[in-house]
Amino acid sequence: MKADVQRLPNLQDNESGSALMEFGLVATVFVTMMLGVMDIGQAAYTQAVLNGAAQEVARAASLETRDVPASDAELEKLVQKVAPNAKVTPKRVSYFDFADINRAEKWNDKNGDGLCNNDENFVDENGNGRWDEDIGVEENGGAGDVVVYTVSVEYEPLFAIPFYDDADAKRTLSTTFVKKNQPFERQEGYASDAGVCS
């Protein structure tokens, strides 16, 4: 027992293994930080690829020689190179003019509530048989039409961030472009059929 007590001063000055302990403390913070940086980097790079590819697809879709399904497939292929197995959802809404974006169909708002109801008359400008708060039609439009092209991407990150509640959650990115189709033929106007809101 006396020999053990005599060794205690030697142990008190012994620093072997302290670097390992310090590395263990620093490594956790460093690895977590690196995973976070990689996650942010993947999101930024995916957003940049999405913006560039969507702009090119939107421009190509405004031409007379457009092939919309092929363009969307190419966009999905490009995005999935940086975000494997990403779900790419393109959406196009066409309008006659820029001023029509997010405009409601015309109606006689008798009660002034801002909605078409209570047997109020409306003009079915987009021809779908009902009153719409947004006159746009979900398609690529025709000659001279304005198209709002939105693409959303949902993907799983390559690097899950430890100690983060939503580490395994999917990330969602989106981009929107507004283009006017080339006037390759005469532009069709809106319909003028009448309807009644219930």
Span 63-87, mean pLDDT? Answer: 92
Task: Output phi, psi for 42, to 5 deg.
Answer: -65, -40
pLDDT score, position 2? 58
pLDDT score, position 117? 87
Q: List the Cα angle 173/176/178 in 5-degree steps.
A: 170
Residue 12 has pLDDT above 80, yes or no: no
Q: What is the pLDDT of residues 109-156, one digit of tens each?
A: 888 888 888 888 899 888 888 888 899 999 998 899 999 999 999 999
What SS3 class is residue 52? helix
pLDDT score, position 151? 97
pLDDT score, position 181? 92
Residue 61 has pLDDT above 80, yes or no: yes
Q: What is the 3-state secondary structure (H, E, C) of 110-178?
A: CCCCCCCCCCCEEEECCCCCCCCCCCCECCCCCCCCEEEEEEEEEECCCCCCCCCCCCCCCEEEEEEEE
Among 9-13, 21-25, 57-61, 149-153, the minimum mean pLDDT is found in 9-13
105-111-117-118 Cα dihedral, nearest 10 degrees: -140
- Cα–Cα distance measured from residue 65 to residue 55, given in angstroms and rounded to the nearest whole number: 17
| Percent of the chain whose pLDDT exceeds 90 | 39
- Cα–Cα distance measured from residue 116 to residue 198, given in angstroms and rounded to the nearest whole number: 8
pLDDT score, position 100? 92
Among 13-22, 72-81, 143-152, the minimum mean pLDDT is found in 13-22
pTM for the whole structure: 0.77
Those residues with Cβ within 8 angstroms of residue 33's Cβ, 6 or more apart along the chain or in another chain: none
Give the chain's mean pLDDT: 86
What SS3 class is residue 22? helix
The confidence band for 187, taking pLDDT boundaries of 50, 70 and 90, is confident
Side by side, the strands of the sheet bearing 146-155 are 87-95, 146-155, 171-180
- Cα–Cα distance measured from residue 162 to residue 156, given in angstroms and rounded to the nearest whole number: 15
Q: List the Cα angle 68/185/103 in 5-degree steps.
A: 70
